[in-house]
Chain A
Amino acid sequence: LAKTTQPISMDSYEGQEVNITCSHNNIATNDYITWYQQFPSQGPRFIIQGYKTKVTNEVASLFIPADRKSSTLSLPRVSLSDTAVYYCLVGARNTGGFKTIFGAGTRLFVKA
């Protein structure tokens, strides 16, 4: 399983764009990159998943360079409610038995 490295914490202000970068130097050819969000005392919530280049949905964008050794989660115009822990995970997409291992995550604090 590819190990991931993220900043421990980040601060931002409401309305700003936040970019959280994750390093995964040992990513395998068939690995996908998935980001989850977790609020205190809740289970993780899926944000976005991608394999290469750029993926965008209604809440975030995911940028993956050609070498795929890192990825960046971009949250546009954050609000106070985006204060949470964000986890970057790497793993195979279609293998039913693969394990989802969480790294330390990034604690994002959004200030007014």
Chain B
Amino acid sequence: GAVVSQHPSRVICKSGTSVKIECRSLDFQATTMFWYRQFPKQSLMLMATSNEGSKATYEQGVEKDKFLINHASLTLSTLTVTSAHPEDSSFYICSARGHRGASYNEQFFGPGTRLTVL
């Protein structure tokens, strides 16, 4: 299947700092990218959906000013957690959907980024 990468794989930061997580589709163009958050023993929670070149659509309850999403190209989306606090510590997963010549849009997930805020 297609490859979606995330960087960094894990990050530890101090409270109040901002952290940027990158999501890249390595072998296809991602028209849509999704960002999820997952707490221990829980399911993935969709945070926002972004289409290349347009503003992200955030799910209810997700602060758009705190979780900044940029989808500047068809292969890169970034999630910036601004002024991170310990409660933002979580596993952040991106996914990308694109067309690789198949008859339908496929969705592929990144390996996730473990964020720990001290």
Give the shortest distance, in Å, between B77 (CB) and chain A (any CB): 14
CB distance B34 to A41 under 8 Å? no
Assembled-state Cα–Cα distance A100/B105 (Å)? 12
Whether A45 sits at the interface, judged by CB under 8 Å, is yes
Chain B residue nearest to A101 in the complex (CB): B46
Q: Which of A44, A45, A46, A99 contacts B49 (CB 8 A)?
A: A99
Mask, A10-46, CB within 8 Å of B = 1, is 0000000000000000000000000010000111111
- Cβ contacts under 8 Å, A102 to chain B: 36, 43-46
Closest chain B CB from A43 CB (angstroms): 4
Q: Are A94 and B104 interface neighbours, CB within 8 A?
A: yes
Partner of B109 from A41, A44, A104 at Cβ < 8 Å: A44
Chain A residues, CB < 8 A from B110: 43
Residues 15-68 of B contacting A (Cβ, < 8 Å): 31-32, 34, 36, 43-46, 49, 51
Q: Interface size bucket, A side?
A: 20 to 34
User: Are A93 and B111 neighbours in the complex by a CB distance under 8 Å?
Assistant: no
| With A97-B49, A97-B51, A100-B95: A43-B43 Cβ-Cβ less than 8 Å | no
Residue of A nearest to B4 (CB): A43
With A42-B112, A43-B93, A43-B95 already in contact, the answer to whether A100 and B43 are too (CB < 8 A) is no
Chain A interface, DSSP helix/strand/loop, else mixed: loop
Please indicate the chain A residues that have their CB under 8 angstroms from the CB of B51 in the complex: 97
A96 touches B32 (CB 8 A): yes
Task: Determine if B89 is an interface residue (Cβ-Cβ < 8 Å).
Answer: no
Contact present for A100 and B111 (CB under 8 Å): no
**B97 beta carbon closer than 8 Å to chain A:** yes
What are 24 A-B pairs with beta-carbon distances under 8 A? A36-B109, A41-B91, A41-B112, A41-B114, A42-B112, A43-B4, A43-B93, A43-B110, A43-B112, A44-B44, A44-B93, A46-B107, A46-B108, A93-B105, A94-B105, A96-B31, A97-B32, A99-B34, A100-B46, A102-B43, A102-B44, A102-B45, A102-B46, A104-B43
| 4 nearest A-B residue pairs (beta carbon) | A43-B109, A102-B44, A102-B43, A44-B109
